[in-house]
């Protein structure tokens, strides 16, 4: 071929998006895969509309060999390009024609070929290759390794599989004129409109299904057709054919199979035409599976494809999917758009799951479920993932974002709605309470200087990957929850249904959703929400109470302690003294006031002095909770008076669990610059108790404790053991209550909590937890069928095993390694991997890290190992990362998994020196796909380094920590050692061990003949509490070393007293820190006198 003047091609280089003078309408794609030679070839016929005469056709292609190209116009003239240029920097294919192609339709035909990536590895040739588009997988069937192939195209990798216009939509230049033109068309004329193909499909599907169900013809509402066709769309339909498929394998794609032709060992599988969809949603899988299936109430067939012999493990996910489809159909007032939905467990998968239209692919851990190996946490995660991916079929697939800037519309919404669905399907899980984790995770991330807005510009296709982060998912879903709470559930649902119906088969921008919401709710949603999605960060709202007036002031919250200059329109919700008395308003400027005299029921102008006094009395107790139910994406800082009232409201049990958590979490956030300081530790106790009650996980007890320990290991290394003891004491009571084995009919939350609490105890080296874990583990090694190692305690058990493993005593590690190799269930494998690096011996940690680089650990599973690295192993891990960086890049590319390597290995550090070292190391290794992630990790290290500096200056902190370590135990030890017991309420009087039990017996005997249904349960609970304490007292007695510790602290009774005061006195946080620290001993002795 002859070369054209390259300057003409230059104009298409360095552009973030493709030119729009030609748009695809239909792809006819045939792919021939050779699983043994690990490559594929194909042809694609693309029906195009040329909107503007052009000598160039510009589309995307990457790592493909282009064999032949021709364009046939509407007059059946064939045009062969005079030049074919593949530009791998811009990932485009430019076809240059001698003569301009005229306006009108035509068909572009391209033949191409490419390599299948072997084991997601051989494909990685350089820095710019992330996730393979069509990749080769291996799986083991009856002991034999076999090959299969699957696709993963989101965000921009369809171009690696076939040449295409690989954008969710092209820039819609004719949008507004199209609306005017099309809307006047009579319904019949819609066939000529772009939107037709899509609703034609819905139309045909729904019609066919309803007709078959009812036995009578059902008509489709033509009104919807007109509505749908309002806007020109730029997506295309797909007809997919898979050629040369080994005849014994299953071939799946977005649509059902229309024809299968078997020719000896091979077959050709033809799929039905798809409705219009974006290229990133195209998918196919070729492999060996067993499947099970079910049908929704409106006749949609749903199938779960599992590894051969494991189809039963797809049952749970299948049930969730079927129920979710029914639920969403009603919620969105729109039928599921395709005739079928398949879900496939793919053995190696670079993420959790992918919502391909009609063919959802899952990592095995996210689809397979069995009662023996799936912990409560796995079950919950699975339900969330399935409902998330199914929701995308509407939100994302049927209505698609216009460009990746609006990616959050997909992810934020799917995340939010997955909680909505899970709550409806499993109300007993109280999943909205756990949504607090989402909000908290978003708040933590978005308080960094290096955070980013929800909506961002995309300078290069490869920087899209950084957007799949906590901001898109957690902040995205949180601001949606905030908006839903503000406009009300009904209005919100109505708006979403109207949005889905209006924009079905089209591309949308964030503003389109806000417009519908504004119409339906009457609230100016656009101007409000722009501030939340287009600028980073969030406000802290300071509230002061003065003479029946609440005064508000907003400023941007930053973890660094500085104030940013962001400002928002904040939907404020207020409850006054009761959840019935509620007020909502928008804080639109920096300052705001709310007169609450009416809400608080004040009697204005009353001259009666008695009434006035009563009113003052009433006022004193009136609590004010801002951000009711913690649905807002902001923090609230109350003045001292309001805080004191809230604490009293908590004691009086007036606040909901979410609000209680919110109050403590906020206090904790404000003292977290002082996290190991006095006030931080006091809040820790309250916060941990709340998280224990709520059953939170990511931000639950273990997380709070780990974070504090991480900092203190640098700030006060001598006190780390005391600190661990303090945490152990805080958690111990919960663990005693929960025990090691599930009780029949226990709640989902108890199972979740048991795992968390035992994991925390194991991590902090609690000796009795370790003994129990070892006993159970040994029994299990001898008898794999034993019931003594239920799935929810396994992680804790394995961590315990590893915490006592070292280079000189490797037994535990070797046994676990054997377990890992033999385990068949993927969830069990990841559980073991998560615990192995938690070993305190750095040499063992190094062995585990090296294991992760081996063939034995599947690519996507390394994230579990990285998450578990012990604090003692962090330096080893960092050196290991330095030495293996090139190998890591080679194997994982610059994809999302690389973020885990950086984040999990860098953030445990707390010193400026280390932050400098990390910066120096990456100076010459920077890449756009992880640049932001790295900056965020370094910022976290520097924030903690500042804490460490502060803590080091607090001299008396050591004594205090020692006091706290004994504090909780001391209460019980007093009961064990001191004749006069501290427990003195009601039935709970307790004394020495024998007396405690005797007292319980005595109480039981007394009530044996006096029991009455009205107090029977209350009595049983009281007796249980006595016996629980009795066991606790008994256990403490056996811990010799504790006694010494307590005695030492009791001697310096001042410190103990002040600790007690700190922990029990609810107003302590209002005292200035230096007062508490400096004056603690004198104050305490004065008080005790
Ligand atoms: Zn998603």
pLDDT in tens, 275-333: 989 999 999 999 889 999 999 999 999 999 999 899 999 999 999 999 999 999 999 99
Q: Is there a cis peptide before residue 155, judged by omega within 30 degrees of 0? A: yes
Q: Which two tokens stand for residue 522?
A: 């009457």
Mean pLDDT of 811-838: 90
pLDDT at 987: 29
Binding-site residues from annotation: 388, 392, 411
The phi and psi torsions of 143 (rounded to 5 degrees) equal 80, 0
Separation of CA 353 and ligand 1 centre (Å): 8
At a CB cut-off of 8 Å and minimum separation 6, what does 868 contact? 799, 833, 834, 835, 836, 837, 838
At residue 1070, the pLDDT reads 32
Residue 159 has pLDDT above 70, yes or no: yes
Q: How far is the CA of 129 from the centre of ligand 1 (A)?
A: 22
Quote the ligand 1 centre to 536 CA distance (angstroms).
Answer: 21
Beta bridge partners of 558: none
pLDDT at 550 over 50: yes
Residue 911: pLDDT over 80: yes
> CA-CA distances (angstroms) from residue 145 to 286, 287, 830?
15, 12, 21
Contact 389, 496 (CB under 8 A): no
> What is the pLDDT averaged over residues 370-374?
85
Distance CA 167, CA 149 (A): 24
Q: Are 485 and 573 in contact (CB under 8 A)?
A: yes
Per-residue pLDDT band for 1038 (boundaries 50, 70, 90) equals low
- Is the pLDDT confidence value at 265 over 70? yes
Query: pLDDT tens, 458-501?
Result: 766 666 766 677 788 899 999 999 999 999 999 999 999 999 99
Calculate how far, in angstroms, residue 392's C-alpha sits from the geometric centre of ligand 1.
7
Tell me, in angstroms, the distance from the centre of ligand 1 to residue 418's CA. Answer: 10
> Do the beta carbons of residue 414 and residue 399 sit within 8 Å?
no
Give residue 316 CA to ligand 1 midpoint distance, Å: 20
Angstrom distance (rounded) from CA 414 to CA 407: 11
- 528 CA from centroid of ligand 1 (Å): 25
Asked if pLDDT for residue 364 goes beyond 50, the answer is yes
pTM beyond 0.85: the answer is no
- What's the helix, strand, coil split of the chain in %, to 5? 50, 20, 30
Question: Hey, is 696 helix, strand or coil?
Answer: coil
Lowest mean pLDDT: which of 149-158, 710-719, 853-862?
A: 710-719
Q: How distant is the alpha carbon of residue 78 from its chain centre?
A: 51
CA distance 335 to 314: 24
In this prediction, residue 114 carries a pLDDT of: 86
How far is the centre of ligand 1, averaged over its atoms, from the C-alpha of 109 (Å)? 33
The predicted model gives 492-517 an average pLDDT of 91
Task: Kindly give the distance from the C-alpha atom of residue 363 to the centroid of ligand 1, in angstroms, as a whole number.
Answer: 14
**Cβ neighbour number for residue 417 with a 10 Å cutoff:** 25
Residue 112 to residues 45, 115, 163, 348: CA-CA distances in angstroms? Answer: 12, 11, 8, 26
Q: Which residues pair with 1060 in a beta bridge?
A: none
What is the C-alpha end-to-end distance of the chain, expressed in Å?
Answer: 100
Distance 396 CA to ligand 1 centre (A): 8
Q: What pLDDT, on a 0 to 100 scale, did the predictor assign at position 348?
A: 74
pLDDT band per the 50, 70, 90 thresholds, residue 955: low
Of 66, 72, 108, which is closest to residue 87 (Cα–Cα)? Answer: 66
Of the listed ranges 122-126, 195-199, 478-482, 1040-1044, the one predicted with least confidence: 122-126
Written as six digits, the tokens of 63 are 């790592």
pLDDT band at 220 (very low <50, low <70, confident <90, very high): very low
pLDDT for res 682: 54
* 8 A C-beta contact, residue 340 and residue 358: yes
Nearest CA to 896 among 319, 223, 155? 155
Cα–Cα distance measured from residue 450 to residue 403, given in angstroms and rounded to the nearest whole number: 23
Polymer length in residues for the chain: 1089
Ligand 1 centroid–CA 557 distance in Å is: 28
Active site residue 389: yes
Q: Residue 582: pLDDT band by 50, 70, 90 thresholds? A: confident
d(CA 892, CA 939): 25
Residues 314 and 289: beta-carbon distance below 8 Å: no
Pairing verdict, β 250-253 and 284-287: antiparallel
Residue of 154, 355, 389, 939 marked catalytic: 389
Distance (Å) from CA 487 to ligand 1 centroid: 25
CA trace torsion 1062, 1066, 1071, 1072 (10° rounding): 70
Is the pLDDT reported for residue 139 higher than 70?
A: no
pLDDT of 439 over the 70 cut: yes
Beta pairing class for 134-141 and 117-118: parallel
Using a 10 angstrom Cβ sphere, with 0-12 exposed, 13-18 middle and 19 or more buried, the burial of residue 676 is: buried
- What proportion of the chain, given as a percentage, has pLDDT over 90? 36
Distance 247 CA to ligand 1 centre (A): 33
β-pair type (359-363, 340-346) = parallel
Reported as a single tens digit per residue, the pLDDT across 845-883 is: 999 999 999 988 888 889 899 988 988 999 999 999 999
User: How crowded is residue 313: how many other Cβ atoms within 10 Å of its Cβ?
Assistant: 24
CB-based contact 351:149 (threshold 8 Å): no
The structural domains of the chain, ordered by start, are: 6-171+235-287 (2.60.40.1730), 173-228 (no CATH), 539-676 (2.60.40.1910), 712-954 (1.25.50.20), 964-1088 (no CATH)
Lowest-confidence region among 100-104, 423-427, 484-488, 616-620: 616-620
On the question of pLDDT at 1083 being above 60, the answer is no
**What is the H or E stretch that residue 546 is in?**
strand 539-546
From ligand 1's centre to the CA of 520, what distance in Å?
26
| Pair 559, 707: CB distance under 8 Å | no
408 C-alpha vs ligand 1 centroid, how far in Å? 9
Q: How confident is the model over 652-707, as pLDDT tens digits?
A: 888 888 888 777 766 665 554 434 444 555 556 666 666 665 555 555 555 666 66
The interaxial angle of helices 794-803 and 767-782, nearest 10 deg, is 110
Q: Look up residue 11 and give its DSSP letter.
A: T
Q: Ligand 1 centroid vs 174 CA: distance in angstroms?
A: 30
pLDDT at 1087 > cutoff 60: no
The answer on pLDDT for 143 being more than 80 is no
How confident is the model at residue 1033, as a pLDDT?
A: 61
pLDDT digits (tens, 9 = 90+) for 877-901: 999 999 999 999 888 877 778 889 9
What proportion of the chain, given as a percentage, has pLDDT over 70?
74
- Residues in the annotated binding site for Zn(2+): 388, 392, 411
**481 CA → ligand 1 middle, Å:** 17
Give the pLDDT confidence of 22-46 residue by residue, as tens digits.
889 999 999 998 887 778 899 999 9
Cα 391 to ligand 1 centroid, rounded to whole Å? 9
- Distance from the CA of 389 to the center of ligand 1, in angstroms? 6
For residue 101, what are the contacts with CB-CB under 8 A and spacing of at least 6? 22, 50, 53, 54, 55, 57, 71, 73, 79
Q: Check residue 386 and give its pLDDT.
A: 96
The DSSP 8-state label assigned to residue 856 in this structure reads T
Q: Is the pLDDT of residue 1057 over 80?
A: no
Q: For 939-990, what is the HEC assignment? A: HHHHHHHHHHHHHHCCCCHHHHHHHHHHHHHHHHHHHHHCCCCCCCCHHHCC
Question: For residue range 964-1022, what is the model confidence (pLDDT) as tens digits?
Answer: 666 555 444 444 443 333 333 232 333 344 466 777 888 888 888 877 776 776 677 67
Q: What are the tokens at 614?
A: 């009563």
**What's the confidence (pLDDT) of residue 185?**
29
Q: What is the mean pLDDT of the chain?
A: 78
Contact 749, 945 (CB under 8 A): no
């Amino acid at each position: 071929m002859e070369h054209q003047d390259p300057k003409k091609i230059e104009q298409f280089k360095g552009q973030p998006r493709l030119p729009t003078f030609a748009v695809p309408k239909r792809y006819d794609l045939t792919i021939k895969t050779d699983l043994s030679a690990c490559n594929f070839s194909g042809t694609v016929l693309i029906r195009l509309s040329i909107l503007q005469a052009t000598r160039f056709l510009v589309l995307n292609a990457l790592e493909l060999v282009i064999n032949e190209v021709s364009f046939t116009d509407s007059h059946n003239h064939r045009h062969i390009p005079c030049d074919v240029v593949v530009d791998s920097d811009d990932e485009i294919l430019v076809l240059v024609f001698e003569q301009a192609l005229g306006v009108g339709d035509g068909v572009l035909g391209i033949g191409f070929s490419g390599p299948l990536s072997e084991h997601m590895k051989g494909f990685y040739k350089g820095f710019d290759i992330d996730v393979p588009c069509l990749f080769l997988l291996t799986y083991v069937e009856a002991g034999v390794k076999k090959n299969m192939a699957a696709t993963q195209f989101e965000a921009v990798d369809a171009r690696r599989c076939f040449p295409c216009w690989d954008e969710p939509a092209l820039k819609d230049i004719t949008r507004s004129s199209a609306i005017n033109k099309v809307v006047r068309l009579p319904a019949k004329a819609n066939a000529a409109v772009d939107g037709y193909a899509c609703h034609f499909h819905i139309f045909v599907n729904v019609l066919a299904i309803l007709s078959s169900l009812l036995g009578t013809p059902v008509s489709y509402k033509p009104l919807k057709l007109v509505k749908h066709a309002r806007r020109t769309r730029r997506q295309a339909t797909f007809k997919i054919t898979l050629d040369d498929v080994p005849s014994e394998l299953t071939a799946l794609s977005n649509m059902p199979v229309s024809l299968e032709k078997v020719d000896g060992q091979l077959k050709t599988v033809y799929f039905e035409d798809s409705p219009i969809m974006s290229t990133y949603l195209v998918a196919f899988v070729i492999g060996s599976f067993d499947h099970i299936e079910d049908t929704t109430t409106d006749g949609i067939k749903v199938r779960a494809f599992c590894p051969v012999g494991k189809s039963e493990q797809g049952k749970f996910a299948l049930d969730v999917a079927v129920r979710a489809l029914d639920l969403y159909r009603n919620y969105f007032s729109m039928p599921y758009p395709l005739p079928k939905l398949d879900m496939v467990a793919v053995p190696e998968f670079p993420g959790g799951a992918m919502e391909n239209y009609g063919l959802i692919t899952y990592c095995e851990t996210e689809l397979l479920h069995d009662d023996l190996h799936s912990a409560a946490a796995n079950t919950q995660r699975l339900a969330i993932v399935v409902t998330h991916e199914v929701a995308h079929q509407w939100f994302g697939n049927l209505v698609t974002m216009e460009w990746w800037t609006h990616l959050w519309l997909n992810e934020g919404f799917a995340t939010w709605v997955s909680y909505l669905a899970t709550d409806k399907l499993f109300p007993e899980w109280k999943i909205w309470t756990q949504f607090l984790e989402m909000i908290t995770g978003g708040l933590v991330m978005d308080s960094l200087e290096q955070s980013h807005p929800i909506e961002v510009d995309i300078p290069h296709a490869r920087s899209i990957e950084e957007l799949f982060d906590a901001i898109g998912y957690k902040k995205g879903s949180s601001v949606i929850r905030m908006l839903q709470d503000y406009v009300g559930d009904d209005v919100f649902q109505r708006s979403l249904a109207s949005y889905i119906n209006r924009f079905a088969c089209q591309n949308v921008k964030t503003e389109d959703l806000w417009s519908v919401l504004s119409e339906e709710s009457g609230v100016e949603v656009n101007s409000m929400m722009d501030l939340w999605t287009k600028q980073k960060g969030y406000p802290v709202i300071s509230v002061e109470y003065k003479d029946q007036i609440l005064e508000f002031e907003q400023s941007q919250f930053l973890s660094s302690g500085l104030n940013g200059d962001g400002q928002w329109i904040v939907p404020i919700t207020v409850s006054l003294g009761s959840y019935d008395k509620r007020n909502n308003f928008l804080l639109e400027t920096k300052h705001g006031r709310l007169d609450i005299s009416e809400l608080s029921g004040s009697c204005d102008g009353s001259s009666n002095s008695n009434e006035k006094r009563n009113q003052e009395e009433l006022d004193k107790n009136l609590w004010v909770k801002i951000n009711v139910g913690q649905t807002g994406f902001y923090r609230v800082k109350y003045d001292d008076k309001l805080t004191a009232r809230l604490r009293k409201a908590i004691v009086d049990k007036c606040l909901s669990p979410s609000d209680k958590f919110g109050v403590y979490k906020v206090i904790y956030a404000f003292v977290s610059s002082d996290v190991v300081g006095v006030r931080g530790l006091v809040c820790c106790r309250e916060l941990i108790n709340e998280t224990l009650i709520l059953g939170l996980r990511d931000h639950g007890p273990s997380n709070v404790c780990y974070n504090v320990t991480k900092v203190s290991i640098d700030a006060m290394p001598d006190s780390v053991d005391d600190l661990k003891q303090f945490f152990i004491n805080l958690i111990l009571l919960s663990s005693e209550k929960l025990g090691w084995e599930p009780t029949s009919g226990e709640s989902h939350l108890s199972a979740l909590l048991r795992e968390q609490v035992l994991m925390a105890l194991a991590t902090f080296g609690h000796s009795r937890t370790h003994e129990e874990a070892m006993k159970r583990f040994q029994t299990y090694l001898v008898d794999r069928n034993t019931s003594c190692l239920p799935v929810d305690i396994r992680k804790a058990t394995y961590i315990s095993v590893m915490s006592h493993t070292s280079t000189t005593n490797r037994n535990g590690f070797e046994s676990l390694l054997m377990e890992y190799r033999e385990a068949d269930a993927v969830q069990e494998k990841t559980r073991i991997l998560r615990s192995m690096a938690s070993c305190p011996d750095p040499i063992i940690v190094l062995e585990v890290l090296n294991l992760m680089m081996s063939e034995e650990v599947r690519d996507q599973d390394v994230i579990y190992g990285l998450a578990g690295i012990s604090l003692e192993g962090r330096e080893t891990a960092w050196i290991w990362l330095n030495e293996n960086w090139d190998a890591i890049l080679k194997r994982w590319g610059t994809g999302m998994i690389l973020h885990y390597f950086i984040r999990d290995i860098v953030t445990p550090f707390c010193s400026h020196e280390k932050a400098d070292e990390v910066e120096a190391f990456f100076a010459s290794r920077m890449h756009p796909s992880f640049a932001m992630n790295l900056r965020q990790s370094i910022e976290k290290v520097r924030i903690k380094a500042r804490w460490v500096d502060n803590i080091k200056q607090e001299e008396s902190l050591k004594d205090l920590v020692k006091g706290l370590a004994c504090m909780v135990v001391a209460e019980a030890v007093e009961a064990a050692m001191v004749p006069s017991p501290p427990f003195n309420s009601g039935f709970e009087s307790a004394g020495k061990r024998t007396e405690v039990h005797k007292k319980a017996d005595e109480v039981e005997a007394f009530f044996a003949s006096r029991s009455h249904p009205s107090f029977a349960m209350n009595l049983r609970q009281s007796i249980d509490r006595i016996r629980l304490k009795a066991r606790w007292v008994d256990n403490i007695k056996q811990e010799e070393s504790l006694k010494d510790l307590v005695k030492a602290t009791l001697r310096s009774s001042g410190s103990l007293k002040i600790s007690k005061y700190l922990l029990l006195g609810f107003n302590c946080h209002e005292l200035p820190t230096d007062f508490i620290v400096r004056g603690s001993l004198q104050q305490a002795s004065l008080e005790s006198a």
